[in-house]
Homo-oligomer: A and B are copies of this chain.
Amino acid sequence: MIDYIRDGAEIYRHSFATIRDEADLAILPDDIAGVAVRMIHSCGMVDLVDDLAYTLEVVEAGRAALEAGAPILCDANMIASGVTRKRLPANNEVLCTLSDERVPGLAERLGTTRSAAALELWRDRLPGSVVAIGNAPTALFRLLELLEEGVGAPAAIIGVPVGFVGAVESKELLIERAPAPYLVVRGRRGGSALAVGAVNAIASKEEV
């Protein structure tokens, strides 16, 4: 037998204690710090704090929306798969439309990526929702376009698309336009795990 910690709750406690010890959380409001801890936990990098940008009300607004039954709209199936259902306060719907059979046709007609085209199927659900974009910069760009067109704003936007083309720019545009409360990881870093960490933290105050 190899010697390692096998108690899940103890692993969580150790992990969160290490993060709180090493990460520069003092610069963050308490509720944002709670979200940062789970995001750091999901990626192993305490310097993620340096790239966080947010509006002060994003956690409160997102949590209130979920408590009132709002859906969680995700740009990637991995995010929908990763959200911990037992943390959701109202058995909330977790929706990713990327695999909908209408999406390839929509993408062709609109001349865009499938990730962006999938947001056409969000229009009715967007107002008051919690949006989690953790993969495609084009999805975040398209979200900003839809809101500019007049589609009702979500309650909170987790904006953590990742990568080398459009990730930086889409997140900076979200910060600049701020059409709704948001939480962003500036720069190229991002991804489904960070989106899931943020959603799971906003969904419930419980750390473990």
B contact residues around A189 at 8 Å (CB): 43-45
Interface presence of A41 (CB below 8 A): yes
Known: A78-B78, A78-B196, A193-B191. A44 touches B163 (CB 8 A): yes
Interface presence of A42 (CB below 8 A): yes
Quick one: which of A1-45 are within 8 Å of B by CB? 1-2, 4-8, 11, 14-15, 18-19, 41-45
How many A residues face the partner with a CB closer than 8 A?
Answer: 52
Contact between A193 and B44, CB atoms less than 8 A apart: no
B contact residues around A76 at 8 Å (CB): 82
Copies in the assembly, this chain? 2
Known: A11-B138, A41-B164, A78-B78. A6 touches B113 (CB 8 A): yes
Contact between A5 and B166, CB atoms less than 8 A apart: yes
Pick from B82, B112, B169: contact of A192, CB below 8 A: B82
Contact between A43 and B191, CB atoms less than 8 A apart: yes
Q: How far is the CB of A201 from chain B (nearest CB, A)?
A: 15
Interface presence of A187 (CB below 8 A): yes
Which A residues lie at the B interface, using CB under 8 A? 1-2, 4-8, 11, 14-15, 18-19, 41-45, 76-78, 80-82, 107, 111-116, 137-138, 141, 144-145, 162-167, 169-170, 173, 187-193, 196
